[in-house]
Amino acid sequence: MNKPFGNDDPGLAAYVARTYAPEDDGLREIRERSQRAGLPDIQLAALDARHLEVLARACAARRAVEIGTLGGYSGVSLLRGMGSTGVLDTIEIDPSHAEIARESFFRAGFAERARIHVGRAAEVLRRLARHAPFDLCFIDADKEGYPDYLAWSADHLRKGGLAVLDNAFLFGRLHEEPKGELSAAIAAMQKTHEMLAHSGYFCATVLPTGEGLAVGVKL
């Protein structure tokens, strides 16, 4: 290949961060408050949060589903891109995380437009199905569940809607043979990429961010 996939030059990363300034005071407050509350350090990266906002604007999203709320950092970013009437249904399995997110949405002015559903994603998605079609589905939860979550989005997105998946590189392990403690996660993520690339439901690609951000447009 005449051009490599991605670029890990720290100088370039610093330039992009300075120029695009993806984390403003509002998002920084969410990140820091989540850290103080003891939430796991798995928050979406600042530039990936900006990607979410841009993608939501690009597809004119007004109704979105998020699988994996955590502290609300990514949800606030999505809602920023969804216009004044946009509504986000966001799913979080941990009630304490949901409370942190509830405060994040309130402080960002999105309390009336962020519907937090506490419970297992599979169960909540079954209930949300009756409100389909959706414009965007963002998946950032248990990796073993990604194939099912993507299949749900294929069935419940509108034509032209977006499926967006974080951690698409599976922490650098995506290409490995499924074995060891990450065997199930590697197999699930590889299946997910096969679905995105070859199922016929999506025109898809992977943005080479630090964790990999997969994007599929519903056909």
Helices (H) and strands (E) in the chain, counts: 8, 7
The stretches in the chain having pLDDT less than 50 are none
pLDDT, residue 1, reads: 54
CB 76 within 8 A of CB 30: yes
pLDDT, residue 2, reads: 67
Q: Which fold has domain 10-218?
A: Rossmann fold (3.40.50)
pLDDT, residue 11, reads: 92
Q: Where are the domains of the chain?
A: 10-218
pLDDT, residue 13, reads: 87
- Look up the pTM and report it: 0.95
